Amino acid sequence: MGRRKRRHYAINKLPEEVRATVDEMVKTDFTYREIADYIRNSGNEVSLSAIQRYSANLMQSAEELRVSQENFSAIMKEAGKYDNIDFTEPVIRLLCGQLLTKISKLSDTEIAPEELLKHTVALIRAVAYKQNSDYRNTPIFDAVSKEFDRVVFGAIYDEKPELYKELKDFINSKTKSD
């Protein structure tokens, strides 16, 4: 399969300040004719159909970005409900969802299938690396946690036994209610 060509829009060839203004005009619902007049007044020329194609792509990209941001916010909100959560997991899930969306729209995407497969393999490797890292670091974390508990709670037990008893009762009440 051949690599798909990247889309080049006539508007991309405009000076940066003109293109930025055109982007804002598209986002604020100016008509294509008004946008064309603005471009013409800036000393450039672009057809209405070129403006329409650029506008459609810009709005589609903006919508995809908005949906991604909403998904990410929802994932982070859900993940925030749990103490000590590793945020790489929600991010990996979000990337997996986006990748599956791209795969389902394979004929519509600008990415060649070979490139999409490379991204898929890279994501799988990242997930495997994270799982392996979690697996290797769990015993270290447990050992450090136990040592921390021994040192801190040992010092509290030795110096302030009443506080130690209160903390122990509090921790026990919280672990029983969960």
pLDDT tens, residue order, the chain (178 aa):
444 455 667 888 888 888 889 988 988 888 999 999 999 999 998 999 999 998 888 888 888 878 877 877 777 777 777 666 666 666 677 777 777 777 666 655 566 767 766 777 777 777 777 777 776 777 776 777 777 778 888 888 888 888 888 888 888 888 776 5
The pLDDT value recorded for residue 105 is 66
> Has residue 6 been placed in a domain?
yes
In single-letter form, the type of residue at position 20 comes to: A
The pLDDT value recorded for residue 163 is 86
The pLDDT value recorded for residue 2 is 46
> Has residue 140 been placed in a domain?
no
In Å, what is the CA distance from 174 to each residue of 30, 79, 129, 142, 168?
58, 20, 34, 20, 10
User: The domain containing residue 15 runs over which residues?
Assistant: 1-79
> Has residue 113 been placed in a domain?
no
- Residue 122 to residue 116: CA distance in whole angstroms: 10
pTM: 0.43
Domain count across the chain? 1
The pLDDT value recorded for residue 83 is 65
Residue 175, judged by CB atoms within 10 A of its CB (0-12, 13-18, 19+), counts as: exposed
> Has residue 55 been placed in a domain?
yes
**Do 55 and 25 touch, CB atoms closer than 8 A?**
no
- Residue 26 to residue 53: CA distance in whole angstroms: 11
> Has residue 115 been placed in a domain?
no
**Do 9 and 50 touch, CB atoms closer than 8 A?**
yes
